[in-house]
Homo-oligomer: A and B are copies of this chain.
Amino acid sequence: MSLPPEFHHIAQRVNNWGRWGADDEIGTLNLITDAVVRDAAATVRTGRRVPLAVPLRQDGIQTGMVPGRVNPLHTMVAVNAEMFGPGTVATSDDAVTMGLQAGTHWDGLAHVSHSGRLYNGRPAASVTAQGRAAFSGIDTARHIVSRGVLLDVARARGADRLPEGHVVTPEDLAAAEELARTSVRPGDIVLVRTGQIQRYLAGEREAYAFPSPGLSLRTPEWFHARDVAAVANDTLTFEIIPPEIENLWLPVHALDLVEMGMMQGQNWNLEELSAACAEEGRYAFLLSATPEPFSGGTGAPVAPVAIL
């Protein structure tokens, strides 16, 4: 047992293994019932749509810090090719090479293991180079549509963006929930705004990556208590680095993905949404955020849209 006792204490409290059966591969996505979706659709009032993905481009978010997580190399394989002869209709086609976690993405449940285990007690070794994730591949999510709630922590603290290294606590979430004038409910997808992505949007890639605000290892319990279906934020690493407990790296990943079976989203652009919610005075909306269904993917790009 190499992780410290503090970790295991929290792990025990948030663990969902077996809750939806021994065969379950999708964890808290089970909380998004038809009824939750009906209610989510009913939140739509103005019909305004706000996209939450950053553009996919070679000059993207990655700095080279995570080996193999490469920015999109987007190339043309045909440019106005007249396939059927000169003067005919011409087509252009493109191809891409990219890390599945390079831009705005979901971490699938198989993205992280600890102590040799994935979500629901599956062996870590069920992820392999040739088969990819045998369980909990990102394609098992099928669809992700629910009520979204923006917890605008930066705005709740009166800041345009949180200071470097700010640890987002359960108290921060509660304050943002109050600002949102709604209660986070079972099946909700929570979007936590720090404002950090302003750095990337301003062209400061390195500053965006680190140092960055991020979620405290105390937040998984808060999400678990409310039976949240998934959480995304506007940072590169989601949580705080270096970690709150010495040598306990990536505890939030381990708690959310492995213990709870709750997917995490990263590099979501919540700036336009923050402005829209403030303007409309409401922070709940219909959120559509289905990942690209890579068979056995441990994560995937997503182009989320909030519908207000």
Whether B74 pairs with A76 at a CB distance below 8 angstroms is: no
Pairwise interchain contact B294-A96, C-beta atoms closer than 8 A:
yes
Set B68, B142, B303: member contacting A58, Cβ < 8 A = B68
Interface residue from B98, B112, B127, B288 paired with A96 (Cβ < 8 Å):
B98
**Which one of A13-21, A45-53, A196-204, A219-227 is at the interface?**
A45-53
- Within the complex, the shortest CB–CB distance from A99 to chain B, in Å, comes to 5
B75 touches A69 (CB 8 A): no
Q: What residue in chain B is nearest A107 (Cβ atoms)?
A: B91
Question: A46 and B34: CB pair below 8 A?
Answer: yes
CA distance A21 to B50 in the complex (A): 23
Chain A interfacial residues counted at CB < 8 A = 101
Stretch at the interface among A154-162, A166-174, A175-183, A250-258: A250-258
Map CB proximity to B onto A62-106 as digits: 1 under 8 Å, 0 otherwise.
000011111011111111110111111111111111111100000
Q: Which chain B residues border A42 with CB–CB below 8 Å? A: 41, 44
Q: Are B49 and A44 in contact (CB under 8 A)?
A: no
Residues of B near A296 (CB, < 8 A) are 74
A10 located at the interface, meaning its Cβ lies under 8 Å from any Cβ of chain B in the complex: no
> Digit string of A116-134 for contact with B (CB within 8 Å is 1, else 0)?
0000000011011110110
Which of B47, B247, B295 touches A74 (beta carbons < 8 Å)? B295
Complex-state Cα separation, A110 to B78, whole angstroms: 12
Cα separation A34 to B96 with both chains bound (whole Å): 33
Whole-angstrom distance between the alpha carbons of A84 and B304 in the complex?
31
Asked if A95 and B97 make an inter-chain contact with CB atoms under 8 angstroms apart, the answer reads: yes
- Is there a chain B Cβ closer than 8 Å to A231's Cβ? no
Give Cα distance in the complex from A95 to B80, angstroms. 20
Query: What sequence of 0s and 1s flags, for each residue 16-47 of chain A, a beta carbon within 8 Å of any chain B beta carbon?
Result: 00000000000000000111111011101111
A112: nearest residue on chain B (CB-CB)? B91
Asked if A132 meets B295 with Cβ closer than 8 Å, knowing A47-B41, A89-B112, A90-B114, the reply is no
Question: What residues of B have a CB within 8 angstroms of the CB of A67 in the complex?
Answer: 58-59, 77-78, 130
Complex Cα–Cα for A226 and B67 (A): 44
Asked whether, in the complex, the Cβ of B88 is within 8 Å of the Cβ of A298, the reply is: no
| Interface hits, A208-229 → B, CB 8 Å | none
| The one of B48, B88, B94, B291 that contacts A2, using a Cβ cutoff of 8 Å | B88
Using CB atoms and an 8 Å cutoff, list the residues of chain A in contact with chain B: 2-3, 33-38, 40-42, 44-51, 53-59, 66-70, 72-81, 83-101, 110-114, 124-125, 127-130, 132-133, 139, 142-143, 145, 247, 249-251, 253-254, 286, 288, 290-299, 301-305, 307
List 16 interface pairs A-B (beta carbons < 8 Å), by A numbering: A2-B88, A34-B48, A53-B292, A57-B294, A67-B77, A67-B78, A67-B130, A68-B93, A74-B132, A79-B79, A91-B112, A91-B250, A92-B127, A94-B298, A96-B98, A145-B305
Report, nearest first, the 6 A-B pairs whose CB atoms are least far apart: A68-B77, A2-B87, A34-B47, A37-B47, A41-B44, A288-B288
